[in-house]
Amino acid sequence: MSLLVVSPWLHELVFQPSMITCFAGAVMGTLLTLLITYYVLFMRCSCRYSPAMMYHRDRRRRLPDTIIVIRHGESEANVDKSLWKTVPDNLLGLTSKGRRQARTVGKRVEALLDAKQSQRVHLIISPFERTLQTAHHLRRYFEHRIVRTDIESRVREQEMGNIQGDEFAHYRQQQVQIGRFWYRFPTGESGADVLDRVKSWWFESVLTVNTRPHYETVDTLVVVTHGLTMRFILMQLFGWSPTTFHSVWNAGNCDMYVLQKDLDKPGHSPYILDPTQGDMPCSSIDVQVTLKRSNDNKNKPEQRTLKLNNYLSIPPPRMTRKSIIKHLLAEQYPNIISSHKEIDEIVFMPFMKAGKIRGRSSSGVTASDEASRTCGDRSKAAARSSDSSSGSDEDDSSSSGTNSQAANNGEATEDSFFKHRPDNNQDELSDDEEEDIDDEQLWSLHSNRRAKREASLRYPHCQMMPGMKSWY
């Protein structure tokens, strides 16, 4: 009886396929909607908790809190520049002054470690004699904190090759013309080669120092190395362009750069320079400016070659920030430039012009350059003009040319390093974007940010200036 009652409904369902199709479509649509909703509401929100992201965050969290990078003390070749002809570069030791400098910086490191309550230190040393001696004298002040010591060849000085006698002067002149970053000595290395091995050391050793099995974790790295290597460490860390690298001065003997972990900074290496605990890199670059003199009856433009100090204080891409550069030049040279509006054109100088060193070349410095250097109030600046030797970082005390005009009665104060922004000089602004930027507004933003950095020593994140595509 029940079969007779249900059979008409079955007959109707079986012989009407359109109803089955509609029913199946409705079910599939509902399931698809639920899946999409689940993905949007749950998967996208929980992607930060995926295994890959959690591993990445855990690696960042376990990185050492502090990295201290130190240049060796005064070497024998700093005093006697002829030693490189008879003594291999890797065998040059310290002078008595260099040993005193090493002990002084050892006390600075111990005070810093004590303030940060750091108890586990990993000491990394270049295998050159002057760095080994520097480490020997500085480590005595915090020996009780050292849990591991490594001799790391990848942070050694640039290899100049098998150069004998007066050959080096010829090759050094070629390096000046081409640029230290690009020039490769015969049977030696170029600056780019040094950068590659520094990157290899950073990624394979520094970023994994606390993730290796059967090794004790550390909270501080102390690296005793060379001035050129120190600049390449900062170059790979902050993404400097070769032009910016050439503008940065060499560190003084036993200068130390303090890199502090800041997890608010994105990327695999969340480190910023701490100006309160260590020294800061100085930078300058030569520019040729064309001035418009409004009170000149002849109305002829005037050209001047000036040293632009504090080049690192300009936000990247630096060479496109013409309005900021004009204001900085007006601040640094008030006796020459009464207003930034007088500057009509700015041209960055090439490596060589008429056989004389100009602009970005990082080979050599004269006493006049040293006197015109503006990098904070450093009493030891005068001593750096003697940091010169064969082919190592010893003779690379500055990056600016030797023909800049040093007349500067209104020197700009040292600005804090742009800690959160890597450089990218290839990311240039278009003409339309430059027209949209108001010079006064751009300079006001730059000045306000500089004041905030000086007050808080931390750069306010994420707010970009008009026309800038990205900090990273």
* Residue 77 in marked binding region: yes
Q: Rounded to whole angstroms, how far apart are CA atoms 361 and 458?
A: 31
Q: How many CA atoms lie within 13 A of 264 on its CB side?
A: 10
73 marked as part of a ligand binding site: yes
Q: Are residues 74 and 381 in contact, defined by beta-carbon separation less than 8 angstroms? A: no
76 is in an annotated binding site: yes
Cα 441-306-278 angle, rounded to 5 deg? 75
CB atoms within 10 A of CB 278: 20
Q: Is 130 annotated as a binding residue?
A: yes
Q: What is the DSSP string of 154-219?
A: GGSPPP--S--TTHHHHHHHHHHHH-TTT---TTS--HHHHHHHHHHHIIIIITTTTTSTTS---S
| H or E stretch covering 3 | helix 2-14
Give the phi and the psi of residue 218 in degrees, each rounded to 5. -130, 155
For 102, half-sphere exposure in the C-beta direction (CA atoms, 13 angstrom radius) is 24
> 414 an active-site residue?
no
- Tokens 């009652």 identify what position? 5
- Is 157 in the active site? yes
Phi then psi for residue 149, to 5 deg, are -130, 130
Residue (of 256, 220, 251, 219) closest to 108 by Cα position: 256
Q: Is the peptide bond before 242 cis (omega within 30 degrees of 0)?
A: no
CA distance 397 to 181: 15
Residue type, 50: S
Alpha-helix residue ranges (DSSP H) falling in 361-416:
367-372
Q: Which of 72, 137, 327, 446 is catalytic?
A: 72
Residue 347's H or E segment, with its range, is strand 343-348
Query: How far are the Cα atoms of 60, 61, 276 from residue 271, in angstroms, in the given order?
Result: 10, 12, 15
Is 214:396 a contact under the CB 8 Å cutoff?
A: no
List the catalytic residue out of 110, 122, 137, 157.
Answer: 157
| 427: amino acid identity, one letter | D
The response to whether 450 counts as a known ligand-binding position is no
The count of C-alpha atoms lying within 13 angstroms of the C-alpha of 177, restricted to the half-sphere facing its C-beta, is 8
What are the catalytic residues? 72, 157
Binding positions: 71-78, 130
Binding positions for substrate: 71-78, 130
